[in-house]
């Protein structure tokens, strides 16, 4: 994949510190965005990039929210991985080129390799003068509009498919109380399965799991009811060090339409591989290889001795993220951080 974070232009920039014209070959190099910058701790923009050169010292860094859509097929997931194309890496490299400083994104949910998103959300901090400089005037809105448009141009130029694999839907200024990860109320995902020839569509093949046997969606729906609520989802999660597997699954549905089976889920948050493991377990029920009560046993007896099977990544799409109202952002952040700390103890 020709992502900015892994292509020859990005590599040359890291080695030489050079800058390429956006109007030349379409391959953008970067200034001062080496791997050392990528490994810097997350934090405020003042910590990771500092104030803009020549910027008004009175003004503080501002927070920018990005709404993002992407096709994850050619990417090794959201999070930066040296030597591999990633969604985060491509966007951060483009922002670094346009804003002339390293940028670190905080995201609502780190999707795995091959997973898609209809409306992912991320944020970063930057001095407002860096945004205004794009429009050569004092209007922040004009700078944000140009930032979105020019970033989309860069991302399209590095795509190996028609159009672009990544699209920035919106770039907007928000208060420092907003946090893409911790201000979120819930995340929504959908998983698509084709279990018959009639629902096969080659144009959608990279976003649908094709299964060569019919599934009982009614049995899958009944089994899914055992998953709703707060549980330890260790049987459905790949645990990470110092991270809890306790989650609240707020809703899950199994339905069928002209394109096949669709499983939709929403939760306050999902742990690693949780959605794909839930889908994999429900498919076992749909095939008749496992009973509805098997799902209940996995919930009631969390563990990794007999974990749920994991469905392929490409059938999964993040649909959207819900946030509290603006006056509740800070409170929601505090609640989420405190709850995660308590669950981890």
pLDDT 10s digits, 127-153: 999 999 999 888 899 999 999 999 999
Closest CA to 16 of 2, 30, 4: 30
Any idea which of 69-73, 210-214, 300-304, 315-319 has the lowest mean pLDDT?
A: 300-304
Whole-angstrom distance, CA of residue 264 vs CA of residue 316: 10
What whole-number percentage of the chain has pLDDT above 70?
Answer: 82
Q: What is the pLDDT of residue 6?
A: 45
Q: How confident is the model at residue 338 (pLDDT cuts 50, 70, 90)?
A: confident
Query: Is 184-326 in the same CATH topology as 8-174?
Result: yes
Q: Which of 48-62, 68-82, 157-171 has the highest mean pLDDT?
A: 68-82
Q: How many helices (H) and strands (E) does the chain have?
A: 10, 10
Higher pLDDT, 23 or 64: 64
CATH number of 184-326: 3.30.70.660
The count of residues in the chain is 345
pLDDT band of residue 241 (cuts 50, 70, 90) is confident
Bridge partners of 248, per DSSP, are 230
Main-chain phi, psi angles of 306, to 5 degrees: -135, 70
pTM for the model stands at 0.81
Query: How confident is the model over 58-103, as pLDDT tens digits?
Result: 779 999 999 999 999 999 999 999 999 999 999 999 999 999 999 9
Positions annotated as catalytic residues are: 112
- Supply φ then ψ for residue 142, to 5 degrees: -65, -40
Domain ranges of the chain: 8-174, 184-326
- Cβ atoms of 324 and 333 within 8 Å: the answer is no
Would residue 116 be called left, alpha or beta, if left means φ above 0 and alpha means ψ between -120 and 50 degrees?
beta
Residue 77: Cβ within 10 Å count: 19
Q: What is the CATH number of domain 8-174?
A: 3.30.70.580
Look up tokens 């469905």; give the residue.
311
């Amino acid at each position: 994949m020709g992502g900015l974070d892994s292509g020859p232009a990005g590599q040359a920039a890291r080695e030489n510190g050079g800058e390429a014209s956006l109007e030349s070959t379409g391959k953008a190099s970067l200034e001062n965005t080496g791997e050392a910058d990528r490994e810097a701790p997350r934090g405020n923009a003042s910590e990771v990039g500092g104030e803009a050169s020549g910027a008004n010292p009175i003004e503080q860094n501002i927070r920018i929210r990005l709404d993002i859509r992407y096709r994850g097929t050619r990417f090794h997931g959201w999070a930066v991985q040296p030597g591999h194309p990633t969604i985060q890496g491509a966007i951060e490299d483009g922002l670094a080129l346009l804003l002339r400083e390293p940028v670190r994104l905080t995201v609502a949910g780190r999707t795995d390799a091959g997973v898609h998103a209809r409306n992912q959300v991320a944020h970063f901090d930057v001095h407002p003068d860096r945004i205004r400089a794009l429009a050569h005037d004092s209007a922040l809105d004009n700078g944000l509009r140009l930032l979105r448009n020019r970033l989309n141009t860069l991302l399209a130029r590095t795509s190996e498919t028609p159009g672009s694999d990544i699209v920035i839907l919106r770039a907007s200024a928000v208060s420092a109380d907003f946090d893409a990860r911790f201000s979120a109320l819930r995340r929504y995902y959908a998983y698509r399965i084709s279990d018959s020839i009639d629902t096969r569509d080659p144009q959608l093949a990279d976003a649908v799991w094709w299964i060569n046997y019919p599934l009982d969606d009614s049995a899958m729906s009944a089994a899914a009811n055992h998953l709703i609520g707060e549980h330890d989802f260790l049987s459905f999660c790949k645990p990470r060090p110092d991270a809890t597997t306790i989650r609240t699954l707020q809703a899950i549905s199994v339905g069928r339409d002209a394109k096949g089976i669709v499983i939709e889920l929403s939760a306050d948050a999902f742990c690693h591989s949780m959605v794909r493991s839930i889908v994999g377990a429900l498919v076992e029920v749909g095939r008749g290889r496992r009973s509805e009560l098997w799902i209940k046993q996995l919930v009631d007896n969390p563990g990794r001795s007999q974990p749920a099977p994991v469905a392929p990544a490409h059938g999964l799409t993040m649909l959207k993220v819900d946030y509290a109202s603006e006056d509740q952002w800070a409170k929601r952040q505090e609640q989420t951080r405190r709850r995660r700390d308590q669950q981890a103890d």
